[in-house]
Every structure is written in structure tokens, then in C-alpha cells.
């Protein structure tokens, strides 16, 4: 996993060094999805036992009035960051 994180940081470095409005945060919590969010849209890469993340399903979510799935994932990652900031 360390190698994958280093590789991701290297590949994304041009984005977060040349665009200060792009945020990039790390944590050490065990999660069951990878979340990629931009404003009111989110990609959720589900983790499936025995399958590499690149082969696992990806959900494309949009925040919609009356819909709760987007907010459920958004709140989960916010709670993760808050817990790690303490």
C-alpha cells in the first residue's frame, strides 16, 4: 500500500502544486471505499475482497435534493478527517 500511495502522490503532485484550490488529504484509517470528490459530484471506488481496486465497481454520485447517498459518503470522510485531526 505504501508504494501505491507514493505513486498516487507523485502522479497528482502537478495538480495540487499548480492549483491551490485543489485539496489533497491523507489519513491512516481503514476504509472500505476510495472517495474522489469535486463539489457536488463524487466517485466511490468500492473495495471488493480479492479484486484490485482498478477492477472494482465505481459509483458516480451527484448531490441531489432529497437524496442521501452522496451526503452519507461525504459525511463519512469528513468524520474520518475530524477524528484524525484530534
User: What residue ranges do the domains of the chain occupy?
Assistant: 2-85
Model pLDDT for residues 9-38, shown as the tens digit of each residue: 888 888 878 888 877 777 777 777 888 899
For residue 85, pLDDT over 60 is answered with: no
State pTM to two decimals.
0.67
Confidence (pLDDT) at 26: 73
Tell me how far apart the alpha carbons of residues 68 and 75 are, in angstroms, rounded to a whole number. Answer: 10
In three-state secondary structure terms, 40 is coil
Q: Which residues pair with 44 in a beta bridge?
A: 35, 59
Model pLDDT for residues 33-59, shown as the tens digit of each residue: 888 899 999 999 998 999 888 899 999
Confidence of residue 86 (pLDDT cuts 50, 70, 90): low
> How buried is residue 56: exposed, middle or buried, by Cβ count under 10 Å (0-12/13-18/19+)?
middle
Amino acid at each position: 500500500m505504501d508504494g501505491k500511495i507514493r505513486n498516487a502522490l507523485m502522479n497528482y503532485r502537478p495538480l495540487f502544486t499548480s492549483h491551490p484550490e485543489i485539496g489533497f488529504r491523507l489519513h491512516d484509517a481503514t476504509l472500505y471505499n476510495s472517495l474522489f470528490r469535486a463539489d457536488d459530484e463524487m466517485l466511490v471506488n468500492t473495495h471488493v475482497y480479492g479484486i484490485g481496486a482498478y477492477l472494482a465497481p465505481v459509483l458516480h454520485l451527484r448531490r441531489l435534493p432529497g437524496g442521501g447517498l452522496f451526503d452519507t459518503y461525504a459525511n463519512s470522510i469528513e468524520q474520518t478527517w475530524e477524528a484524525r485531526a484530534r
